[in-house]
Amino acid sequence: MTVETGLLTSQSKLRTSTALLGAIVLALLLAAPFFLYPIFLMSVLCFALFACAFNLLIGYVGLLSFGHATFFGGAAYITAHAVKVWGWEPLSGILLGATGAAILGVFVGFLAIRRQGIYFAMITLALGQMFAFICLQVPFTHGEDGIQGVPRGHLLGLLDLNHPLPMYYVTLAIFLAGFFAIWRIVNSPFGNILKAIRENEKRAVSLGYRVDRYKLGAFVMSAALAGLAGGTKAIVFQFATLTDVQWQMSGEVILMTLLGGIGTLIGPVVGAGLVIALQNYLAASDFPVTVLIGIIFVICVLLFRRGIAGEVMELLKRKAPQ
Amino acid sequence: MVNSQPILSATGLSMEFRGFLAVKDVTLSVNEGTVHALIGPNGAGKTTVFNLLTKFLTPTRGRIMFRGADITRLKPAEVARLGLVRSFQISAVFPHLSVRDNLRVALQRPSNLATQFWRSSNVLSKVDDQAMSLIDAVGLSRYEHLPAVELSYGRKRALEIATTLALDPTVLLLDEPMAGMGHEDIGRISELIRRIAKQRTVLMVEHNLNVVADLCDRVTVLARGEILADGAYDVVSADPRVREAYMGTEHE
């Protein structure tokens, strides 16, 4: 009995401290553009959302996708085209990008979820390469040039996004909406089944779950959210290029998620922040960025297997009961 | 006590793995309301038969009928939905979910609470009463919040039986429910199976012959993929071929 009540109070304590921490983080995010370069912050937010979407799949269903650039970059192209060529309003352009990514997710997911482990990763990689090749060939993506000079326009025809501050707050709002969606999915009845499938797929089948449908559902959700990130990126940077759909981008998001901590909500955000910060601040120096990121990656894999956020949380958990 | 109506039956079941015939022409019928044991020496094909009956494997030849319907070509999840639910030889729990959450997972689908991704998982407290009564039934109430991985072996098996029961199955297939258990646990799980069997049919693979003698109405002996004997325990255990199959493997 005492153990149980102790557990309950520690849970409610945890809840209040999480709420407090959330409020502090939100205040920092709101104040951030006054201290840091807004373009850098927006870049972090877009990639953080991309990594969170990727983590929904690997962290909560146990599926390693090696082709997530398809959804990120595919959405970037769709959004860029809709806004530049069709003259769409930016938010609906972004939403169209996310919808396009979801449809791509249905196709890729349908083919890939029939296999597990390394085979799943290989199929997603192969389909991702095919998609990158299509993007190189079809006319609307403009091949090597990509779609350049996408106008930021006015959000819902009202808010001028050509100024950095409104653009930052819109990006932040989209990030928070995406992050909330992932948090909701993970902590929903559906999320509970996803975790069960990750834990023991055969048992889930023997309890009558058609696990393929759950996996496909999660795959499409992850693709749509990755598309949300990609579409937003196209508006923020005003271009969509082949870089966004190539396998290096799929690799980068894996790296971010691993560094930050798989299966933690905040881990991918930390990982994305770290990788983008390194790329930005080292871009001007002579030191090759990829070498340094490689070294950090090796150190992380050797020292903190759970990723940065994973290790910190484990440390707090170990401290908490005393 | 013994109802003679077969609820689950297999006819001419064979399973070939790349030229190796693991199960040869097995014909088996499980009568409604009975506890039926499948026994036999190691490698006799008992688990393969289980996998065939629950569709985790598709038979090379043969037919499986459940409650009058042909289920030979169904998928495992479909079979489970029809009320033919299995446990596994290696404890099948969701290791990092708590005991209560293990039960919740089992109860979610029957309660239509499995696909909502937009609602808080707090709605799952709806099934908690049911979960708690099942946890109580297997004597795990004290461990409700413990992750399943931290339970002792016997308690993991008890949890697995509880999650299997959560689906309210018509037929339970238990693959070695007592394997690796201590004396005390065996008594508790036997008692539990006896209670379950009052309303349901149980088919179990079991090595512990005392348990089989004590619990089961009917025994089927499998050796080298074939049925050797079938009948009441006293009759089957007196059969010289059965004795030889068991002893023979030790002397070979």
Number of Cβ within 10 Å of residue A215's Cβ equals 24
pLDDT at B133 over 50: yes
CB contact under 8 A, A205 and B80: yes
CB contact under 8 A, B117 and A207: no
Residue A190 near chain B (CB below 8 Å): yes
| Local structure of A5: helix, strand or coil | helix
| Local structure of A240: helix, strand or coil | strand
Q: Give residue B248's pLDDT band: very low, low, confident or very high (50, 70, 90).
A: low
pLDDT tens digits along B174-183: 888 887 777 7
pLDDT at B251 over 50: no
Taking CA–CA distances from B104, the nearest residue in chain A reads A192
pLDDT tens digits along B153-206: 888 888 888 898 888 888 989 888 887 777 777 888 888 888 888 888 999 988
Select the residue of A192, A195, A210 nearest B77 (Cβ to Cβ). Answer: A210
Listed residue (B232, B235, B176) closest to B208, CA to CA: B176
What pLDDT, on the 0 to 100 scale, is given for residue A51? Answer: 94
Taking CA–CA distances from B125, the nearest residue in chain A reads A189
Query: Rounded distance, CA A187 to CA A185, Å?
Result: 5
Query: Rounded distance, CA B163 to CA B176, Å?
Result: 16
pLDDT in tens, chain A (322 residues): 445 555 556 667 777 888 888 888 888 888 778 888 888 999 999 999 999 999 999 988 889 999 899 999 999 999 999 988 888 888 999 999 999 999 999 999 999 998 888 899 999 999 999 999 998 888 888 877 778 887 887 778 777 778 888 889 999 999 999 999 999 999 999 999 999 999 998 889 988 899 999 999 999 999 999 999 999 999 999 888 888 888 888 888 998 898 888 888 888 998 899 888 888 887 777 777 778 778 877 887 787 778 888 888 888 877 765 4
Select the residue of A195, A200, A207 nearest B109 (Cβ to Cβ). Answer: A207
Contacts of residue B95 in chain A, CB cutoff 8 Å?
199-200
Architecture category of domain B6-91+172-182+201-251 in CATH: 3-Layer(aba) Sandwich (3.40)
What is the phi/psi pair of residue B236, to 5°? -65, -40
What pLDDT, on the 0 to 100 scale, is given for residue A239? Answer: 86
Listed residue (A182, A181, A229) closest to A72, CA to CA: A229
CB A74 within 8 A of CB A104: yes
Structural domain boundaries in chain A: 35-147+157-247
Distance from the B219 Cα atom to the nearest Cα atom in chain A, whole angstroms? 25
Distance from the A185 Cα atom to the nearest Cα atom in chain B, whole angstroms? 5
Select the residue of A190, A202, A217 nearest B92 (Cβ to Cβ). Answer: A202
- Residue A279 belongs to what H/E stretch? helix A267-282
Contacts of residue A190 in chain B, CB cutoff 8 Å?
114-117
Token pair 């923020």 in the structure block, residue:
A236
Listed residue (A222, A316, A200, A212) closest to A268, CA to CA: A222
pLDDT tens digits along A30-40: 877 888 888 89
- What is this model's ipTM? 0.80
pLDDT tens digits along A41-82: 999 999 999 999 999 999 888 899 998 999 999 999 999 999
What pLDDT, on the 0 to 100 scale, is given for residue A57? Answer: 92
* DSSP sequence for chain B: -----EEEEEEEEEEEETTEEEEEEEEEEEETT-EEEEE-STTSSHHHHHHHHTTSS--SEEEEEETTEE-TT--HHHHHHHTEEE--SS----TTSBHHHHHHHHHHTTTT-SS-SSS-GGGGGGGHHHHHHHHHHTT-GGGTTSBGGGS-HHHHHHHHHHHHHHT--SEEEEESTTTT--HHHHHHHHHHHHHHTTTSEEEEE-S-HHHHHHH-SEEEEEETTEEEEEE-HHHHHH-HHHHHHHHHHHH-
> Which of the residues B117, B149, B165 would you substitute to probe the A interface, choosing the one with the greatest number of A C-beta atoms within 10 Å?
B117
CB A240 within 8 A of CB A77: yes
CB contact under 8 A, A206 and B54: yes
CB B121 within 8 A of CB A183: no
Query: Rounded distance, CA B140 to CA B152, Å?
Result: 11
* DSSP sequence for A163-223: SHHHHHHHHHHHHHHHHHHHHHHHTSHHHHHHHHHHH-HHHHHHTT--HHHHHHHHHHHHH
What pLDDT, on the 0 to 100 scale, is given for residue B252? Answer: 36
What pLDDT, on the 0 to 100 scale, is given for residue A302? Answer: 80
pLDDT at B3 over 70: no
What pLDDT, on the 0 to 100 scale, is given for residue A321? Answer: 57
What pLDDT, on the 0 to 100 scale, is given for residue A2? Answer: 47
Q: Residues 120..179 of A with a Cβ closer than 8 Å to B: which?
A: none
Rounded to 10 degrees, what is the CA torsion of A281, A282, A286, A292? 160
Q: Give residue B104's pLDDT band: very low, low, confident or very high (50, 70, 90).
A: very high
Taking CA–CA distances from B55, the nearest residue in chain A reads A206
Query: Rounded distance, CA A69 to CA A224, Å?
Result: 12
